[in-house]
Structure 1
Amino acid sequence: MNQKDWNTRIQIIDNFKNETEILSENSMGIYIEFCSDNSLVIYFKPLNEVFIDNIFNENTGVLINFERDLIDEDDIEFALDIFSLFNKYPQFYINNTAEVDKITQLILLLKEEYQNKKSSYIMFKTLLKVLLLYLIRFQNDGFLKQDLNQKRVFQFLELMETSFLTEITTEFYAEQIGISSKRLNQILKEKLNLTAKQIIQQRQITEAKRKLIKGEITTKELAFYLGFDSLSSFSRFFKKNVGVSPSVFKKEHSF
């Protein structure tokens, strides 16, 4: 992957401001704030959310923003760990000197690779994965009291990630979580500004795009893989959400 392609899927921005334009709503963001007492505050922007307004102050920081399909390229277990990392808490603190040094060094390596004219996508992806794995390790459940509704959002996202190919009704997910469909939609609207159906459809579109770009199956096979009863119904759904037909999208993104 060349540097031009990176610019559509990855951003690294120093001293990020809230008004700065970032990648799509379907992107994930990490803002690392460097505090004067040699500690770090890690803020997360999960899918379909924004950073909290009060994180930007006189302290320096760096934003790492990337499209979710970078996570989808890896195995499902890693993806679920990342969604857990991003959805448990909006922020956590790192005060241990050795841990701060590890994160700081990884950020420097990521920035160096990102800015390198001969940058390697594989190298960058590996460094990003190592950073995320360290953050998973360092995240401590004792830092913040978990919000019950935030926990339910995470339960929904985790369950959807493993079930969206076969289960697309709000009722199924609400029953698994132990609340009503109405209450689930209220929580998702409050936290993500989307209903369960909209989030599931967004996940279907992301998966469809990924499969079309890889070209491993035909469009008809993809339609049935995603649970549609016909190619025409899938094509209408895809065009309504993406703006072009699956065949046009595939042609535009073929290598």
Structure 2
Amino acid sequence: MNTNHWNTKIQIVEQFDGSTKMLSENSMGIYIQSETNDALLVHFKPLNQKFNHKVFNTNAGVLLNFERDLIDEDDIEYALDVFALFNKFPEFYIKQKEQVLQIQQLINWLKGEFYSETTSYIMLKTLLKVLLLHLIRFQNADFLKQDLNQKRIFQFLELMETTFLYETTTEYYATQLGISSKRLNQVLKEKLNCTAKQIIQQRQITEAKRSLIKSDSTTKEIAFRLGFDSISSFSRFFKKNVGVSPSVFKTEH
């Protein structure tokens, strides 16, 4: 199988800077940066977001960029764990020597398979999954050390991922987190530069695009599944955020 065929779903970039083009806005990114003290600094780019600008201060690392489809093809529990990995906090250090060596070995295997003349999509996907599972395990060990507001962001994003189809108000999520809507928006603006409503709408747009491209659902079915009371209100919402109507978007893709 030709490597370039899989560049539409996964890419590995070893000279990464601000001009590097992601696969799509619906892709996820991990930048693993080597530190001088034999540690790794791991940066995450969740769906519909960008890397922190300080990621571009060095190119001593490797970018793994992949489409959400690679995660959704597996079971829902794994997908939720991956989304949690990306949303808990934008970066974390791996300092234990054994853990550093494990991640470096997995990266080398991924690069070897990616650049092989006989690249296997299944092998790439499997190696990526093993890498993500290692990162999930290492990150969970650090989670208790994070500040309260960062934990609130994680809790909001995790809850939203499982309920956004039927809960779209800031008040609902604030109540579940035990804080006011104003405080929730303050925390999200400080850390992610978005309000709760904006993040929920980004998630709705991502799901709408995915459904239009990947499923046989009609625009009407997608609109009602996303909680809109009419096709016209969904179409206005979609066109405002994407620039074209749902039908045009589906045709173009």
Separation in structure 2 between the aligned mates of residue 236 and residue 4 of structure 1, nearest angstrom: 37
Partner of 1:96: 97
Contact 2:38 2:95 in 1 (8 A): no
Give a deviation string over 1:25-66, Cα, whole Å, max 9, x none. Answer: 654322222345544332333442423627845x83112123
> 1:74-89 counterparts in 2 under 5 A?
74-89=74-89
Separation in structure 2 between the aligned mates of residue 144 and residue 167 of structure 1, nearest angstrom: 28
Q: Which runs of 4+ in 1 moved over 6 A?
A: none
Partner of 2:206: 206
Matched, 1:12 2:12: yes
Q: TM-score, normalising length from structure 2?
A: 0.85
Deviation at 1:194, TM superposition (A): 1.0
Partner of 1:136: 136
Q: TM-score, normalising length from structure 1?
A: 0.84
Matched, 1:147 2:147: yes
Separation in structure 2 between the aligned mates of residue 117 and residue 244 of structure 1, nearest angstrom: 39
Partner AA of 1:220 in structure 2: K
Deviation at 1:85, TM superposition (A): 1.9
Quote the sequence identity (%).
68
Give a deviation string over 1:158-186, Cα, whole Å, max 9, x none. Answer: 00001000000000000000111111111
| RMSD over equivalenced CA pairs, Å | 2.7
Partner of 1:248: 248
Aligned length: 250
Change (3 A) 1:78 1:5: same
Change (3 A) 1:198 1:166: same
Contact 2:43 2:55 in 1 (8 A): no
SS of residue matched to 1:141: helix
SS of residue matched to 2:74: coil
Partner AA of 2:43 in structure 1: Y
Partner AA of 2:19 in structure 1: T
Contact 1:92 1:143 in 2 (8 A): no
Separation in structure 1 between the aligned mates of residue 150 and residue 103 of structure 2, nearest angstrom: 26
Deviation at 1:187, TM superposition (A): 1.0
SS of residue matched to 1:201: helix
Structure 2 runs not aligned, ≥5 long:
none
> 1:102-251 counterparts in 2 under 5 A?
102-116=102-116, 118-139=118-139, 141-142=141-142, 145-251=145-251
